[in-house]
Homo-oligomer: A and B are copies of this chain.
Amino acid sequence: MMTFSELLQKRRAIRDFEEKEVPLKIVEEILQEATLAPSASNNQPCRFVVVQCRKTIKALSDDSKANLLQDNADKKIKLNPDYVTFLQNENFNVFYNASCVIYIVGAKSVGSLDVDGALAASYIMFSAAARGLGTCWVALGANIRDPKLRAELGIPDSCRIVAPIILGYPKAISAPSERHAPDILRVITEAR
Instruction: State whether B53 touches A183 (Cβ < 8 A).
Output: no
Size range of the chain A interface in the assembly: 35 or more
Interface string of A19-49 (1 = CB under 8 A from B): 0000010001001111111101110101111
Where chain A touches its partner, the secondary structure class is mixed
Query: What residue in chain B is nearest A24 (Cβ atoms)?
Result: B187
Stretch from A64-72, A84-92, A114-122, A166-174 forming part of the interface with B: A114-122
Residues facing B in A172-192 (CB within 8 A) are: 176-177, 179-190, 192
Q: With A48-B183, A122-B123 as given contacts, are A188 and B53 in contact (CB-CB < 8 Å)?
A: yes
* Given A3-B130, A24-B189, A31-B182, 12 more pairs with CB closer than 8 A: A1-B3, A24-B187, A28-B184, A35-B181, A37-B122, A40-B139, A44-B179, A49-B186, A51-B188, A54-B190, A115-B115, A153-B188
